[in-house]
Structure 1
């Protein structure tokens, strides 16, 4: 009887000792809860065309610009409508600007047909192109396509003297020359009752879309000086 008690006690001691030294299970890293620091790190902001709603193609009436900037390089070309910019816009009237410090195209001269002034090209890239989500070359190739997709009405292409027209008439001439561009996709800017630009609202594939959030010229008539 005494031997049985001793044996039972030894067995109990053995179990207690081996239980205390048993290896504990290790939690897999994938199962570990994220720390407070990890959970507070914001995901990178999305970049690319999804950050705006549409493009606003601004075609500046070069004769009006050259009236106050006669020495500008574009003025020696006696142009009519020229590209000012292809601008990302939002439907609520807001627009992104200067979205990064990414450098512009490595060879700006390849876009001299749409931007003869290299400083304007750099300004447009810094202010608007960096918000497009495109590389510099892709952005300016898109701008070139956008300009070439809009036909200048013959009334302006052959203008040899100053005329005055209501804004609705000016935009109507554009819709006549561009059947794929409805009136709702056009706007016009003016200053001191002079035509300054015609604007076209385009989606990210350069299809005409209804303008939203922008205002058009409200003058009764505007003066349109001829190319110099």
Structure 2
């Protein structure tokens, strides 16, 4: 028995199976609005609708993300993974101008909402409709130099009830990439300490022009 115990001591201990995130179990949403010209500078015209189509895009919806107060669920088990109906995907392209983005957002984030796909994307549209884009960011004909605090201040001025601790600008080393706005499950603005802590800290950024 002593020998057997010694042999067993050298074996790796079994690990507990990972616990999957549960659909509907989260605290709030983040509405992520992507500055399309930055994305298209990186992707060129490979994304034909968003970057190569006839319509120029400014801020577009990247996604509506269920969040915990710390961390976030992803890729929840939402049952059979049948593809999204084409009509549903096509119906989102005015605010999420990429079919692959719509499908990815459902798999990665919508599956954790506890809603079916149609209701999740209806909620995504409602969240987007809740936020007013500041006038200065609707039509940007040339490179615009801004600070993260200026972008936040413009959104706060345009959206009563939105506060500094409920919005965060995401960037790379020199450009605005996204604006992330925290919302309750019924789409009211709210604070979100962890999202705010991860905000861009670069003092000066550019926003490439809308083509």
Can you give the 5+ residue segments of structure 1 that lack an aligned partner in the other structure? Answer: 1-44
Q: CA deviation at 1:46?
A: 9.4
Q: CA deviation at 1:48?
A: 4.3
Looking at CA atoms only, which structure, 1 or 2, has the larger radius of gyration? Answer: 1
* Distance in 1 separating the partners of 2:36 and 2:153: 20
Residue correspondence of structure 1 range 161-172 to structure 2 within 5 A: 161-172=142-153
* Distance in 2 separating the partners of 1:195 and 1:116: 19
Matched, 1:97 2:74: yes
Question: Hey, what does 1:147 align to over in structure 2?
Answer: 128
Q: CA deviation at 1:47?
A: 4.8
How big is each residue's C-alpha offset from its partner over 1:162-208, in whole Å with a ceiling of 9 and x where there is no partner? 12111111100001111132222111100022100001000110110
Match of 1:123 among 92, 104, 112: 104
Indicate the SS of the match to 1:111.
Answer: coil
> Structure 1 residues 106-115 or 171-180, which shifts more?
106-115
Q: CA RMSD in A?
A: 1.7
Can you give the 5+ residue segments of structure 2 that lack an aligned partner in the other structure? Answer: 1-19
How big is each residue's C-alpha offset from its partner over 1:111-158, in whole Å with a ceiling of 9 and x where there is no partner? 222233211111110010100000000000000111111111111113
When the two structures are superposed, what TM-score results if normalisation uses the length of structure 2? 0.81
Q: Residues 211 and 114 from structure 1, CA distance in 2 versus in 1: closer, same or farther, beyond 3 angstroms?
A: same
Match of 1:70 among 44, 51, 54: 44
> Structure 1 residues 115-124 or 132-141, which shifts more?
115-124
**Contact 1:104–1:136 under 8 Å retained in 2:** no
Indicate the SS of the match to 1:124.
Answer: helix
Matched, 1:217 2:200: yes
Structure 1 segments, 4+ long, off by >6 Å, are none
Match of 1:177 among 141, 146, 158: 158
**Contact 2:23–2:111 under 8 Å retained in 1:** no
**Contact 1:104–1:125 under 8 Å retained in 2:** no
Indicate the SS of the match to 1:213.
Answer: helix
* Distance in 1 separating the partners of 2:115 and 2:104: 16
* Distance in 2 separating the partners of 1:112 and 1:84: 11
Indicate the SS of the match to 2:153.
Answer: helix
Q: CA deviation at 1:62?
A: 0.4
* Distance in 2 separating the partners of 1:109 and 1:170: 30
How big is each residue's C-alpha offset from its partner over 1:16-57, in whole Å with a ceiling of 9 and x where there is no partner? xxxxxxxxxxxxxxxxxxxxxxxxxxxxx99543x1111011
Question: Hey, what does 1:12 align to over in structure 2?
Answer: none
* Distance in 2 separating the partners of 1:165 and 1:122: 32
Q: CA deviation at 1:104?
A: 4.8
